[in-house]
Structure 1
Amino acid sequence: MTSAFPDTIYAIQHLAFEDLGALEDVFYQLGFRVRYFEAGVDDLTLAFKHTGLTIILGGPIGVYEAEDYPFLQQEIDLLKQRLASGLPTIGICLGAQLIAHALGAKVYAGHAKEIGWSQLSLAEVPDNILAPLAETPVLHWHGDTFDLPEHATLLASSDLYPNQAFSVGQNILALQFHIEAAADSMEKWLIGHTCELRKASISIPALRADNLRYAGSLEPQAQLIAEKFMRHLTR
């Protein structure tokens, strides 16, 4: 880490139990600290004006629900300013949808819930940062999707949804899937999302078994991706 780059990563949560998961230890090992902000509770101005890395995490609400959740509009406005400045930003799940929306793309309810573990189809682009995931199942957990923003580079697709990840330049990365999924924290998700899982007729025991089966193999690949992203920012 260079002395000029801020040593704290800001993470914006939309659910208390969805945190940086497997990525948090990676950042600590690289010499960074982590500070969390709660959307809808904390003032997010500092997080979005941060010149270091800001990560926007997932949540159950939709980008298009600002009438029901007024804090979303301020979050979107601040995010637009951040992206226009090219400040380093990662969005995961809802965070990716917010980035897509802030860049002018449409975000909308998808044709089906995508919940569970499956492999991505990586786009054939030079130096795809997601290359470590070529043969590794990832956790999908979403019902909304987005169109690819103008000037964005598509990085990955899935069988159900064509736009699973994109980048804009080297500082902005949007991931619809959950790269942060960690084996030791997924039980909180099964408890917190029980209503959604029941409504979608997802077998909780089967999903629990898959979490235990696949999360361990995802974590080292997620570490490689996080390390590469941070090396670019701090070189």
Structure 2
Amino acid sequence: MRPVLILQHEPAQGPGYLLQCLREHGLDVELLRPDLGDRPPAYAGDFSGLVLLGSDHSVQDHLPWIARERLLLADALRLGRPVLGHCFGAQQLARTLGAPVHRNPRPDIGWRELWITPAARHLFDGQDRLLSFNWHHDSFQMPPGATRTLFGVHNLNKGFALGPHLGLQSHLEVTDPGLRAWCAQGRAELAQCHGPTVQTEQEILADLPERLARLRRAARAVYHHWIGHLDRRPVFVRPRAA
């Protein structure tokens, strides 16, 4: 069957726990780094689904690879290939669907309790709250026709669903090594950001086993739901003429 295409944009923001879930389902994965020069394909039909991960960049940045990603997203939407966006990836998806993306008054960095809307609780194993990890400066508006899945105290739009497509303004994919690497990479940013919406590195890394266990329960449910929508039709290779 067709592989799942993952677009990663930062060394410390890899697919993490999502990759484990994909492998549990026996799915092949192709991973590209557009920020390092990998060119996103123009045709989404070669993949069963598309995943976009986080980035230190903004969707407002005028970079060729960001524009090319949106062309690929538009093709995935046209073909009905399921899209899963995390943070920057969710903003890319929202913008491709016609929703504005704007700068927040304050960055949102650290662990947050989010509320799961009644319409989305089936995605999160029936839970009504989600302990999520966040690191973002921008937020999206709700795309036309989408259903809000998550909301928080500091950000109303923390997640949406539209058919098989999911946008998450948070990180469900994080792992212990990944978070430690991310904090190390982002120490200068953490030193400059202060206020009620920003946690320190020590606060972020506190009680990680318990926090990640809670996060993984919700992440597993969401990921397995999204995986269930993937195009699993086999790829037939036309035999060459003798």
**TM-score when scaled to structure 2?**
0.86
SS in 2 for 1:45: coil
User: Which of residues 217, 223, 229 is equivalent to 2:214?
Assistant: 217
Aligned partner of 1:197 in structure 2 is: 190
Aligned partner of 1:22 in structure 2 is: 17
Aligned pair in 2 of structure 1 residues 205, 45: CA closer, same or farther (>3 Å)? same
1:146 aligns with 2:178: no
- The CA RMSD measured in Å over matched residues stands at 2.0
Residue by residue over 1:30-81, the C-alpha shift from the partner in whole angstroms, topping out at 9 and shown as x without a partner, is 1112221001311101674433011000001111111xx2221122222122
1:55 aligns with 2:48: no
| Aligned AA (1:64) | Q
* Kept in 2: contact 1:13–1:36 (CA 8 A): yes
Q: Cα distance, 1:192 vs. partner?
A: 1.5
Q: Cα distance, 1:84 vs. partner?
A: 2.5
Moved more, 33-42 or 92-101: 33-42
Mapping 1:6-155, distance limit 5 Å: 6=2, 8-40=3-35, 41-45=37-41, 48-66=44-62, 69-125=63-119, 128-155=122-149
1:184 aligns with 2:177: yes
CA distance, structure 2, for counterparts of residue 132 and residue 180 of structure 1:
19
Aligned pair in 2 of structure 1 residues 90, 198: CA closer, same or farther (>3 Å)? same
Q: Cα distance, 1:10 vs. partner?
A: 1.4
| Aligned AA (2:175) | A
| Aligned AA (1:30) | H
Moved more, 140-149 or 213-222: 213-222
After the TM superposition, which segments of 4 or more aligned residues of structure 1 sit over 4 Å from their partners?
A: none
SS in 2 for 1:184: helix
| Aligned AA (1:233) | L
* Kept in 1: contact 2:130–2:215 (CA 8 A): yes
SS in 1 for 2:106: strand
Q: Cα distance, 1:131 vs. partner?
A: 4.3
Q: Cα distance, 1:212 vs. partner?
A: 4.2
| Aligned AA (1:58) | G
CA distance, structure 1, for counterparts of residue 202 and residue 168 of structure 2:
26
Q: Cα distance, 1:154 vs. partner?
A: 0.9
| Aligned AA (1:227) | H
* Kept in 1: contact 2:94–2:143 (CA 8 A): yes
User: Which of residues 158, 165, 168 is equivalent to 1:172?
Assistant: 165
Q: Cα distance, 1:148 vs. partner?
A: 0.4
| Aligned AA (1:9) | V
Q: Cα distance, 1:196 vs. partner?
A: 1.7
Aligned partner of 1:162 in structure 2 is: 156
Unaligned residue ranges in structure 2 (runs of 5+): 233-242
Unaligned residue ranges in structure 1 (runs of 5+): none
* Kept in 1: contact 2:161–2:167 (CA 8 A): yes
CA distance, structure 1, for counterparts of residue 203 and residue 115 of structure 2:
24
Share of identical aligned residues, percent?
A: 25
Aligned pair in 2 of structure 1 residues 187, 132: CA closer, same or farther (>3 Å)? farther
Aligned pair in 2 of structure 1 residues 146, 32: CA closer, same or farther (>3 Å)? same
Aligned pair in 2 of structure 1 residues 126, 101: CA closer, same or farther (>3 Å)? closer
**TM-score when scaled to structure 1?**
0.88
* Kept in 1: contact 2:8–2:33 (CA 8 A): yes
